[in-house]
Structure formats: structure tokens, C-alpha cells
Chain A
Amino acid sequence: MKKLFNDILNMEGVDGIILFSFKGELIYKLFLSPLPEEPENKGWWGLFIRSLNGVREADLIFEKSKFYIRKTEIGYLIILMGIFVPTAMVRLNCDMVLPALKRMKISKKGKSIFKKK
């Protein structure tokens, strides 16, 4: 699963990725530096995911970081990165990951391939 997101994670300035189901359940996460707390301990992710309300893509721009959110076949992929990372490159790399995620959904073994880190 890390291999699937390798190209995204290897981009300079990308700090991590997190994949949620449409119900807000954590499917996968990988961060390049430790977080103060594990995201799955927070109960509001479901509300946040639902508030996206079917959005295809989103750019969330903050003072110190930005997030790129992409809707996939199995849920929402959220990429955390520094503000100077070229989002267009991140989008392109996501385009390449999406077909693989689609195949995961179709595959009977899809769920077991993802391990929580």
C-alpha cells in the first residue's frame, strides 16, 4: 500500500496521506513525521467526510499547510503538504493512483491489502 502512494509521498514537501471511507472510517494513513495524536482517535472525521458531500476534489489552504482532497472509488484521499508544493503535480500523481484504487474496490481481497499504520 505504501508502494501505491510512493510517488506522492516522495514529492518534496508532502507530509502524509490519509484515506477515509465515505463513512469516515480510516482505511489507511502514512505520515512522514509523527502526529501529536492519532487521527482515528478523533470522532469528528465522519462529520468532516460527510460535509464534503460528494465533492470531487478540494484544495484546503491554510497559513502553514495545505490539503488536497480527492474522491476515489473507495473513499476520500487527503494529502497533507507544505504551502509551496505544486498542487498540479499532486493531482497528476493522484490521477495515476485512482485506477489502482478502483481495482482494489473490485478485488475481493481489497480490504485486507490496506493495513493501518
Chain B
Amino acid sequence: MIKKVLIVDDDQEMLLSLKEGFEKYNATFSVLMAGDGLVATEKLKQETISLVITDLRMPRMDGFALLSEIMEQYPEIPVIIMTGYSTPEMERLAQKGSAVGYVEKPFMIDDLAKQVLATLRKESEGGTLHSVSSGMFLQLIEMEQKTCTIRLLDKTSGKEGVLFFCDGELFDARTAGLKGEAAAYKIFSWDEVNLSIQNECRQKEQKVHRDINAILLEAMRLKDEAGEAEEPEVVEEEIEEIEELSEELEPETPDPLIRIQTKLKEEVGERCGLEDIYQDNSWDGFMAQTSRMGAFFGAGKLKLIYLDRAEPNDLILVPGYKTSVLLVNSKCPRDRIITILSE
């Protein structure tokens, strides 16, 4: 995904020079521009920005005020300060305002670019996971008592959100203009997300004071209520039309357990050795650990795990919203089953 970097400076020539100088990095990030802090705050509302580079001395809203605004509203966004009027006091103030970097003009564009790339890489330094449920990554965070910032993308709606964890505790959340618990309820209602983990939490003030399980329950309750409220009234005359249309549509995506069983039956038959098949969330943590290992080696998406536990039955784990668990006996043609299920 191409990340967006917002550059804020009242010097138009500087903006254009930086935009031009950063063009060779456009496979990694694109550049947005703002002439002062006020325009920058509007851009921050409209776009998902990964990094802000800002001058300090600007009209209407200077770099310090912008830095303060970002820390309050978007604590997950790192800020690099650039200025031509550097003093030790100014540098100290910028760092006190939680800027991640400070560059003095004039500077080499490629040096700034290196700083930008290093900062953007931190967004996913802890790893990325695809198509996971909120329950899966919460187990991961809680297990490890992790301090991190998690950026999420809801695969259904395309909405983005951020969660801040400190020692495994949820400190804050942000999504679509919402903050704190309201944002957390929204994020935890998402069924399937892609997420990236940054190994630090820049939010120092705890804005969420409820237990994670309580938030999850409330998120599900609110989601159910919203679902009921949005159900359209279907007029009787429309029912026939809907029924006709549904006959033309492809059949619904089958339950994953049925899909797996059907596939094994068709390709292997009775010799597949399948003794039981069910879904079990208790494996989500292990699946998340394994996914992270795969991410480290650039192995791509996790497709399947085969476990021989030196017991009468082996296990096959298939990732999904809920982990599908297959219990197979010793007659199971292991490599063939692995090939079939990982296609």
C-alpha cells in the first residue's frame, strides 16, 4: 500500500522541491502538500496520513501548534520538524512536543528521504497480519503484555483505525473522527481486518478505561443493534422480485467446514482419514504467532498448519475468521491432504 506523507510549509518553492525530490520514492509513499498548519489539519481529516513533515514558522498556524494538534487528534502520526531558524531551545521544544525527527535547513533531500523511509517502516516493524479477526490479535497483544500501536484496515468497509496498547492494556483508539471508547467499539465490530504493528505507543494518556472484554461485548451489542435498525422494510410487492433475483444469483459461500469436507471427499474420498472437523477460536493465538513468523520471512499468507503431536490423531488447522480444526487419523495421506487444502 502506498503511504501518504504530508509536507507543510509556507514556502511554495520548498514544497515543490521536496515533491519533485521525493518522486523517485513514489513506489513507497506519495506526497501531499499544505501551505500552513490550518490547511494541514483539513488534509489530516480528509486523508489517511502516515507521516507529517512540517516547517515551524508559518502564518495562521505554526509548526508547534500543528504538532500539538497532531499529538491530540492523531497521536499515531509521526512528525518530522524542519526549520531554517534552529536554536537548541526550538529543538528541545519540538522533541518535547513528540516530534520524531528534526532537520535543519538547508538539507539534502535524500537524507530527509532516508529519515522518512525509516519512520514509515516502523509502522509495521512488529509485523503485519492479513484477514484476522479482532479476537485473534487481541489474544496476541494480551498474551505478550505488548506496548504497541496497531493500524487496522477493515476489509469489508475499507475504513481504517488505530489502537494504542500499553503493557497489553488498551489506552486509546481512533477511527473516522471518533476517539477513545467510541472508536474502540467501532473497530472491534469489524469482522476481518488487515493490521500492522508498530512497537511503540505514542499515546501516553489513557483514554479508554474499560476492560477489553467489556469493549468487545459492547461493540457486538452495538453492531447487532445497528444491524436491526438498518433492516429495510420490504414491501410485499417487492418480495417476488427479490425471490426471482436470488434464483439467478450464485449460491452463497458455503460454511468453511462444509467446503473443506466436500473438497476432501471429492479429491481423496473415504481414505482421507478425517475423524472430526470443527471450529475453535482457542487456536487463534497460535495461528497469529505462526503468521508473524511467516511475515518475518516474507512467506506470504498462512494457508494451513499440520501438527503431529505424537497422539493417535494429528491436527490440521485452517485459518479463517474462526480457525477450522481437522482431526485426522494415522491413515491420512498427509502430504496429499496438505496439497489439496492449501490450493
Task: Report the nearest B residue to A71, measured CB to CB.
Answer: B310
In-complex Cβ contact of A61 among B286, B308, B309, B338 (8 A): B338
Query: Known contacts A54-B309, A58-B307, A61-B338: does B300 contact A48 (CB below 8 Å)?
Result: no
CA distance A109 to B43 in the complex (A): 64
Cβ of B143 under 8 Å from chain A: yes
B143 near A65 with CB under 8 A, answer no
Answer whether residue B86 sits at the interface, using C-beta atoms and an 8 A cutoff: no
Given A55-B309, A56-B308, A64 and B289 touching (CB < 8 A)? no
Within 8 A of B (CB), among A55-88: 55-67, 80, 86-88
Instruction: Name B199's closest neighbour in chain A (CB-CB).
Output: A43
Interface size of A by Cβ–Cβ distance < 8 Å?
27
Question: How many angstroms between the C-alpha atoms of A37 and B297 in the bound complex?
Answer: 9
User: With A and B bound together, what is the CA distance between A54 and B292 in angstroms?
Assistant: 20
* A-contact bits for B288-309, CB 8 A (1 contact / 0 none): 0110111011111111111111
Please judge, given known A-B contacts A58-B305, A58-B307, A62-B299, whether A51 and B285 are in contact too, CB under 8 Å.
yes
A66 to B286, CA, bound (A): 16
Interface positions, chain B 202-217, Cβ under 8 Å from A, are: none
Contact with B along A33-57 (1 / 0, CB 8 A): 0011101001010011001001111
Q: Which residues of B contact A (CB under 8 A)?
A: 143-144, 285-286, 289-290, 292-294, 296-310, 334-335, 338, 342
Of all A-B residue pairs in the complex, the 9 with the closest CB atoms, nearest first, are A63-B300, A62-B299, A65-B299, A64-B300, A59-B306, A57-B308, A61-B304, A56-B310, A61-B342
Q: Give 13 CB contacts A-B under 8 Å.
A: A37-B296, A47-B144, A55-B307, A58-B305, A58-B307, A59-B306, A59-B338, A61-B302, A61-B342, A64-B298, A65-B300, A80-B299, A87-B335
